[in-house]
Chains A and B, each alone.
Chain A
Amino acid sequence: MSSIHGNVGGDHRDDHLSPDECAAIAAVDGLGALTAQEASSVDEAEVAELEAAAGALFTAFALESRDGDRQRRESPPDGLVDRLLHMIEHHVPASARSLEGSESSGSSDRVRREEPPQSLPQAPVASLPAASLDSVPPRGWTFGSVAAIAGWAAAAALLAGLLTTLDRVSDLEEGRISSDPAVALTQFQLSTPDVRQLAWQPLGDKPVKGAVFWSDDANDGFMRIQGLPVNDPSEFQYQLWIFRGSDPAAEPHPVDGGVFDVAKNGEVIIPIDAKLGVGEASLFAVTVEKPGGVVVSGREKIVALASRAG
């Protein structure tokens, strides 16, 4: 049985795809599974209709599966609607509840698929949600050793990072963002059009799960992470590093994304605290460091990695 992890569109393409085949792939996996040339060949209306068919099939299969499994024969838990309503009405700005929508669909998605290097045309599925399946974690990428150590970023970058931090503090104080990390993440996703989601990729025997949610424009983001051992802050702490390039070995000066602790098993949501302006972030790495973190990491112990490079 093969794993689906990390495979979106790549395995579809070992030969020439006809426009019809491209339309079917776009309907099922999104436009991001196609090359720019392939994406330009599909008929928008056809993709929309096929995607609707996939949605209807999903419903039919889900109902069949549920009915065949009596243990799953359950209704939503009590209070679900109230909790969702509370989340929407009290934590999501009204303007964000019906954010744009539309014409610039590909780039305005809350979770944007990482595109291949080619520039894809606008999502053709104007009448359905734009293609938004997640990025494919890179395979075989290893974190190279880095020897060079130099000074930190320029004053302008420092100022950008500082302003981001001050903005967050101000937003918290004024109640614009929630102190609940899960709600704050949702707010961030809704209010930040360019937020990207980068899945943690497998590392070692016990890979972490989750993703980084990052906005280059806001120089801000969150981590959703599950699988890191609980740490004693007096012994060691975790520290996030943000790289601008895809090759950390060639980048000795990643931006410090903040020190954090994992106080419980299971998933934790950590706000990213970028100390500097990053610009275009390409890779995120979590290292284990001494309490309080370090200015320059030796990168001896890397426990999580997420990259936009496919």
Chain B
Amino acid sequence: MTSRSAAQPTILERVAAGDPGAVKDVLSRYSALVWSLASGLSRDPHEIEDVVQDIFVDVWRSSKRYDPRVASEATFIATIARRRVIDRRRRAGRRVDPEPLEEELAPGADDPSLRQVDIEDEAMQAKEVLAELSGDRRRVLELSVVTGLTHREIAADTGIPLGTVKSHIRRGLVEVSERLKARRVAHGEDGE
């Protein structure tokens, strides 16, 4: 996440304002991120590109809703991407189980296509939070946020009681939210 002054609108704010140059800027800056987020959906590059296009269409249309006090641009776009990817999975009746985490890897850090996007900071922060979560909570969050399963489906899959599933999701999201918020405040990026 990048600090900014009030005199420097974010790319999404420029998109919302109708700045023609912002279109290319947002594509150049975030296409690698969006591609990465969408590529878990399929091995078919055409299908991935299709959903990438859908995501950017949503980005254009949602740009005026962006509030830097709530999230970085990258997270805002990831939020849109998550919905579109899960939409696709649900429509296709497709389930993709994410591969187990390989802790020794440093995701994103050695990828030039992602380095151009200032997302490592926040992604790494979210990963740090993940690493501190219990195994069950992490798995439940993964099945909910990434795979798109319902609470009942998660309970059936994992054998975790339904009430505990709900609790894991709620508390896990709150934990991540609070940590990210604290980081934004610490970096003076809360938009105030």
Interface residues of A, Cβ cutoff 8 Å to B: 1-12, 14, 20-21, 23-25, 27-30, 48-69, 71-77, 80-81, 83-85, 87-89, 92, 94, 96-102, 105, 108-111, 125-130, 132-134, 182, 186, 189-190, 199, 202, 209-211
Given A24-B169, A56-B75, A97-B23, the answer on whether A62 and B36 have CB atoms closer than 8 Å is yes
Interface residues of B, Cβ cutoff 8 Å to A: 15-18, 20, 23-24, 27-28, 31-33, 35-37, 39-40, 43, 45, 49-50, 52-53, 56-58, 60-67, 69-71, 74-83, 85-87, 89-95, 98-102, 105-108, 111-114, 119, 122-127, 130, 141-142, 144-153, 156-157, 166, 169-170, 173-174, 176-177, 180-181
Q: Is B91 touching A190 in the complex (CB atoms < 8 A)?
A: no
Closest to A207 in B: B93
B-chain residues with CB within 8 Å of residue A98 when the two chains form the complex: 15-18, 60-61, 63-64
A25 to B5: give the CA distance in the assembly, Å. 34
Q: Is B65 touching A130 in the complex (CB atoms < 8 A)?
A: yes
Given A102-B65, A209-B92, A211-B91, the answer on whether A75 and B113 have CB atoms closer than 8 Å is yes
The distance from the CB of B52 to the nearest CB of chain A, in whole angstroms, is: 7
A83 to B46: give the CA distance in the assembly, Å. 12
Given A10-B150, A59-B75, the answer on whether A76 and B31 have CB atoms closer than 8 Å is yes
A27 to B171: give the CA distance in the assembly, Å. 13
Given A59-B74, A102-B64, the answer on whether A190 and B151 have CB atoms closer than 8 Å is no
**Majority SS of interface residues in chain B?**
helix
The distance from the CB of B141 to the nearest CB of chain A, in whole angstroms, is: 6
A76 to B37: give the CA distance in the assembly, Å. 11
A-chain residues with CB within 8 Å of residue B45 when the two chains form the complex: 77
**Majority SS of interface residues in chain A?**
helix
Q: Is A3 touching B150 in the complex (CB atoms < 8 A)?
A: no
A127 to B157: give the CA distance in the assembly, Å. 33
Q: Is A52 touching B177 in the complex (CB atoms < 8 A)?
A: yes
27 contacts between A and B (CB under 8 A): A3-B95, A24-B170, A28-B144, A55-B71, A56-B176, A56-B180, A57-B141, A57-B146, A58-B79, A58-B82, A60-B123, A61-B142, A61-B146, A62-B37, A63-B123, A65-B98, A68-B99, A68-B101, A80-B35, A84-B27, A89-B23, A92-B60, A97-B60, A99-B60, A101-B61, A111-B58, A127-B69
A89 to B22: give the CA distance in the assembly, Å. 11
A9 to B90: give the CA distance in the assembly, Å. 12
B-chain residues with CB within 8 Å of residue A58 when the two chains form the complex: 37, 78-79, 81-82, 85, 145-146
